[in-house]
Chain A
């Protein structure tokens, strides 16, 4: 099936099988491997991308559902060399270890701050319920989200 969509600001028309998952379309067809597959079953959040501004788990969507949509992956969050405030914050607050969950975390926090620019700590934690990190204790991830909020407010 033919779909037209926007990925990281670029218009694109592509031929996809009706069973192709969005995550596979992004990773295999588009070479956007920053979106990770952790569980295949909508549990871990490593595969999160923004679809029309909402953070969604790309392992549970079919590519054909994306016809006409605007998709932003982790690769699309930075502007060339310039990192987004959320990306910067994860880096500076040491909000990562193995880094496998990081793209999903960054995408998720980006969505949170777009909807709630000044979240409380408990709002951050509840928002991140769907993103599993096995390496950290979420301490620095939550800190990164707070730092990102500050950065965005300052900007």
Chain B
């Protein structure tokens, strides 16, 4: 499966083809935004950051900035012709702050200079007279201040309090779950190219349409006057969904005033300090259960630290609510989500989009219940799986597909889970410095944007008279292989080799009004839009061929040829003939996910088209002296439906798991009491490297077909496997648990850094005496 298949193969669907840009990547030919040849006169911009605390700005002296070598101009909020707003959902966040800042180092101005170095040096020369404003940073502070960036959502079924009171056993707990820096290798960047014919902006963004709109508001231009383009991003992970617009707006503001092209590539530290991260959460939970481990009731209070503005926090927190059950049926429950304002950078989309934070708490609770009952946590998980005792999710949607139980059973055997768990528990009895732990955790992840109107996509399909095909759609490429998958789908439709299908950069002037490439929906939506365009063109070609050959037969597009009745011709001949016959060979396609929608007031309805599933067994080892820990072996089994490209899907699973492992173990964001980010560079913020990879990592695709009519019956894959890493967190807790005596389970928070593991080891030892 990992062997490369050559693109000439006529039917590319379902094959492990290499990434469409692989040849360019290994030779350095692939162009990212920063690699585009700079036009003559191109200026470079840098952000000017405010004081290292939330401040009232009494005076700002930019003279030294203006006089610095190479500086052409400096722009503040006063220079914005239109709206000074960087908030995509709620207009509650200025692009450039003026009289006050809401978080440490919030941008106040933009410098444009002849070189990047000059711009960056000049940006540091501003002088402020500023008064410090109080900073709410910690959970206790934000809860006490009680300011919300968006209204609270509460989802209720039955009477959880009454059911808890009646329950045989009760469990109460709290878990803190840290945020995560995206650390896309290509930082935020945009190149603004003004011209009398309109503005063109190359932006490393997952959401070109939104950048276009935000630029329109900034400059009071119509969308038709602005083209936003992105061929590829060097990683994004959600970090370029809403917040790529900020960089594009600053570059464009400078371009607008100077009339010159302007590039803004954020310095890595500035990027980390001024762009939002995964939301950190504190979850308080209570569950009622019986001797068998079956859960009857639960309450979950989710406190999210959203940062200083709303950004995408409402949708992120909604998704956290929709995943606080993960894979388990909880008959009566109350799930409450508070979206707290804090004086920190505005948290944003990040792979999983609140889902992972929602799931971590219930998985901790499953482990705790099992520990108290002296059961294998897997048995408690199985006992509560949807389908065993009920199948209605908290939001009222029926969980129909019965994939998880057989999937878990398959993994239990293939990973030899029971045997290994028994061995580890036995070994831990007499363990010295090193202890091991193991866990099997499942994932059920809802697919669709929970903002229902976003579930649409458009595509443009051109067949040229030489037969070559150009496909363009609203989805963006960030390494996830979306362009390739859609091209595979199109090539399959016309029965042509993949190299006849060309994919071009995502541009707002080709396909308008697009949704962000996010929520794992890229292929589902854009692939379906491309299919719709294929269908339109195939219908036209069918009519043409039927007339030409005077037959009612339906044509067959296969192996680069077209067969109809007793006639056949090469596909390229057909294209030429159709053009001669004046058949329009260009079509658009549109897709809107059918049957979804929910009521945002009650949280009830059908937010998702379907679910993606997976499960993982992780085995870890901890050093009880230092708290250091690592994953020794991981076995992942994941449901991607019927894969369009197994190589791409396996890559997504691998990358997501390791990124999730990083989030839950080593990646720690540290803010000081003023809300200033102290881990503002890769030197202090550690993400997994090649040595952190588990010694053994087995990844398998689960044999399944999507019951919903998605493209090729495939399933979305970008986010769901991220949550397979919860098994790592659970396994770490397992490794510690034995020290605390029977029934003990540690209150391990996330990330489980060495310090956190040490804290829990101490607590476990204390509990044992």
Task: Tell me how many residues of B have a C-beta within 8 Å of chain A.
Answer: 62
Q: Is the CB of A37 within 8 A of B34?
A: yes
Does A69 have its Cβ within 8 Å of any Cβ on chain B?
A: no
Q: Is the CB of B690 within 8 A of A140?
A: no
Q: Is the CB of A103 within 8 A of B28?
A: yes
**Contact indicator per residue, chain A 113-155, by CB within 8 Å of chain B (1) or not (0):** 0000000000011101101111111111111000000000000
Q: Is the CB of B25 within 8 A of A96?
A: yes
Query: Of B27, B29, B682, which one neighbours A44 at CB under 8 angstroms?
Result: B682
Q: How far, in angstroms, from A13 to B4 measured CA to CA in the complex?
A: 42
Query: Of B26, B117, B267, B481, which one neighbours A91 at CB under 8 angstroms?
Result: B26
* With known contacts A39-B681, A44-B185, A134-B235, A100–B4 Cβ distance under 8 A: no
Query: Of B29, B235, B237, B697, which one neighbours A100 at CB under 8 angstroms?
Result: B235
Q: How far, in angstroms, from A27 to B28 measured CA to CA in the complex?
A: 11
Q: Is the CB of A97 within 8 A of B28?
A: no
Secondary structure at the B interface, as helix, strand, loop or mixed, is loop
Q: Is the CB of A98 within 8 A of B185?
A: yes
Q: How far, in angstroms, from A44 to B689 measured CA to CA in the complex?
A: 10
Name the A residues within 8 Å of B648 (CB-CB): 94
Query: Closest approach, in angstroms, between the C-beta of A112 and any C-beta of chain B?
Result: 11
Name the A residues within 8 Å of B35 (CB-CB): 27, 33
- Give the interface size bracket for A toward B: 35 or more
Query: Closest approach, in angstroms, between the C-beta of B480 and any C-beta of chain A?
Result: 7
Q: Is the CB of B27 within 8 A of A78?
A: yes
* With known contacts A19-B117, A94-B2, A134-B659, A140–B681 Cβ distance under 8 A: no
Query: Closest approach, in angstroms, between the C-beta of B649 and any C-beta of chain A?
Result: 11
Q: Is the CB of B30 within 8 A of A137?
A: no
Q: How far, in angstroms, from A33 to B187 measured CA to CA in the complex?
A: 15
Q: How far, in angstroms, from A136 to B339 measured CA to CA in the complex?
A: 32
Query: Closest approach, in angstroms, between the C-beta of B391 and any C-beta of chain A?
Result: 33
Name the B residues within 8 Å of A58 (CB-CB): none
Query: Of A34, A40, A98, A99, which one neighbours B268 at CB under 8 angstroms?
Result: A40
Does B175 have its Cβ within 8 Å of any Cβ on chain A?
A: no
Name the A residues within 8 Å of B2 (CB-CB): 93-94, 140, 143
**Contact indicator per residue, chain A 20-58, by CB within 8 Å of chain B (1) or not (0):** 000000011001111111111101101000000000000
Name the B residues within 8 Å of A41 (CB-CB): 268-269, 681-683
Name the B residues within 8 Å of A106 (CB-CB): 26
Name the A residues within 8 Å of B598 (CB-CB): none
Q: Is the CB of A140 within 8 A of B183?
A: no
**Contact indicator per residue, chain B 1-39, by CB within 8 Å of chain A (1) or not (0):** 011100000000000101101111111111110110110
Q: How far, in angstroms, from A39 to B655 measured CA to CA in the complex?
A: 20
Q: How far, in angstroms, from A140 to B3 measured CA to CA in the complex?
A: 12
Beta-carbon contacts under 8 Å, A45-100 to B: 46, 73-75, 77-78, 83, 87-88, 90-94, 96-100
* With known contacts A33-B35, A96-B26, A43–B682 Cβ distance under 8 A: yes
Instruction: Write the chain B residue with the least CB distance to A126.
Output: B691
Q: How far, in angstroms, from A31 to B29 measured CA to CA in the complex?
A: 11
Query: Of B651, B681, B682, which one neighbours A94 at CB under 8 angstroms?
Result: B651
Does B137 have its Cβ within 8 Å of any Cβ on chain A?
A: no
Q: Is the CB of B479 within 8 A of A139?
A: no
Of the candidates B185, B232, B657, the one having the most CB atoms from chain A within 10 angstroms of its own CB is: B185
Q: How far, in angstroms, from A27 to B33 measured CA to CA in the complex?
A: 13
* With known contacts A33-B35, A98-B233, A40–B651 Cβ distance under 8 A: no
Q: How far, in angstroms, from A133 to B682 measured CA to CA in the complex?
A: 12
Instruction: Write the chain B residue with the least CB distance to A88.
Output: B26
Name the B residues within 8 Å of A31 (CB-CB): 37
Q: Is the CB of A129 within 8 A of B691?
A: yes
Q: Is the CB of A137 within 8 A of B689?
A: no
Q: How far, in angstroms, from A75 to B35 measured CA to CA in the complex?
A: 14
Q: Is the CB of A97 within 8 A of B481?
A: yes
Q: How far, in angstroms, from A73 to B183 measured CA to CA in the complex?
A: 24
Query: Closest approach, in angstroms, between the C-beta of A67 and any C-beta of chain B?
Result: 21
Beta-carbon contacts under 8 Å, B617-670 to A: 647-648, 650-651, 654-655, 657-659
Does B693 have its Cβ within 8 Å of any Cβ on chain A?
A: yes
Q: Is the CB of B693 within 8 A of A75?
A: no
Does B687 have its Cβ within 8 Å of any Cβ on chain A?
A: yes
Q: Is the CB of B267 within 8 A of A34?
A: no
Of the candidates B28, B654, B691, B693, the one having the most CB atoms from chain A within 10 angstroms of its own CB is: B28
Query: Closest approach, in angstroms, between the C-beta of A76 and any C-beta of chain B?
Result: 9
Name the A residues within 8 Å of B38 (CB-CB): 28
Does B128 have its Cβ within 8 Å of any Cβ on chain A?
A: no
Does B234 have its Cβ within 8 Å of any Cβ on chain A?
A: yes
* With known contacts A34-B28, A136-B654, A131–B690 Cβ distance under 8 A: yes
Interface residues of B (CB under 8 A from A): 2-4, 16, 18-19, 21-32, 34-35, 37-38, 117, 182-187, 232-235, 237, 265, 267-269, 478-481, 647-648, 650-651, 654-655, 657-659, 681-683, 687-691, 693, 697, 699
Could you list 11 examples of A-B contacts with CB < 8 Å?
A43-B681, A44-B185, A46-B185, A77-B27, A94-B18, A97-B19, A97-B481, A103-B28, A131-B690, A132-B185, A135-B185
